[in-house]
Amino acid sequence: MTTVLAVAIGGAVAILKLQWHKRNDPTHGKSPYSHMGGDFKLQHKSGTYTLEKLKGKPSLLYFGFTSCPDICPMALSSLMRNLDRIDPAIHKKINKVFISVDYKRDDNEKVSEYVNHFASDIIGLSGTKKEIEKVTKNYGVYFSFEEMKDSKLEYTVDHTSRFFLLNSRGGLVASFTDLKNDPLFKEQLLKELP
């Protein structure tokens, strides 16, 4: 009986210690993305665009460039298809944002024209070298200009291909590479809807 009592007391002490650590752990309950994201200042065809303009709805951000031959078109098409699969009405409940990392070629007019090929409600943003470097650093996005000697384009841009989900307050809560096959995409997106 004494052994059983000792095990029970030991178990209770372990549970109390775990609860104490959880309450006193500064990272407990926070998103693993809480150190990423944040405000930005970019350019839209209507003028300067900041994170503040996205608040009030969840947002999906994607970083790419308009002369991307395959990855960006596939990603934006996948976004539209997968949102339709969840519920076509969801398009009005979220912001869809494409940010060009190609500050050398892509201005706000070119980016807006590009995203309109996929949907009229995608927000197309561009920026200066400094603005793009800041936003990509904050969101953990890699990009690099790669020379193409035998091409009229002269260079391409190697870049991270991920979707970043922001809540309605503009906080980064999740990221996804494969919308179709990631079961958490739908779950997380619906969780962020009002």
- pLDDT of 157 over the 90 cut: yes
**pLDDT per residue as tens digits for the range 93-140:** 999 999 999 999 999 999 999 999 999 999 999 999 999 999 999 999
Give pLDDT, residue 81.
94
Same domain, 181 and 150: yes
Do the beta carbons of residue 135 and residue 193 sit within 8 Å? no
Distance from the first to the final alpha carbon of the chain: 54
The Cα–Cα gap between 135 and 133 comes to 6
Same domain, 52 and 140: yes
Selection from 55, 56, 68 nearest residue 99 by Cα: 68
Residue whose tokens read 């109390």? 16
Same domain, 8 and 83: no
Same domain, 41 and 20: no
Q: Which residues of 143-152 are buried (b: 16+ CB within 10 A; e: fewer)?
A: bebeeeeeee
Which amino acid is located at 166 in the chain?
L
Instruction: State the pTM of this model.
Output: 0.82
Give pLDDT, residue 30.
58
Same domain, 11 and 72: no
Same domain, 153 and 82: yes
- pLDDT of 1 over the 60 cut: no
Check residues 31 and 68 and name the one with the higher pLDDT.
68
The CATH code of the domain that includes 141 is: 3.40.30.10
**pLDDT per residue as tens digits for the range 54-72:** 999 999 999 999 999 999 9
- Report CA torsion sign: 82, 85, 86, 88: positive
Give pLDDT, residue 9.
46
Q: At 2, is the pLDDT very low, low, confident or very high (cuts 50, 70, 90)?
A: low
The Cα–Cα gap between 166 and 139 comes to 11
The Cα–Cα gap between 42 and 111 comes to 12
Same domain, 73 and 107: yes
* Residue range(s) defining the domain that contains residue 24: 1-30
**If you average pLDDT over every residue of the chain, what do you get?**
85
Same domain, 19 and 106: no
Same domain, 12 and 51: no
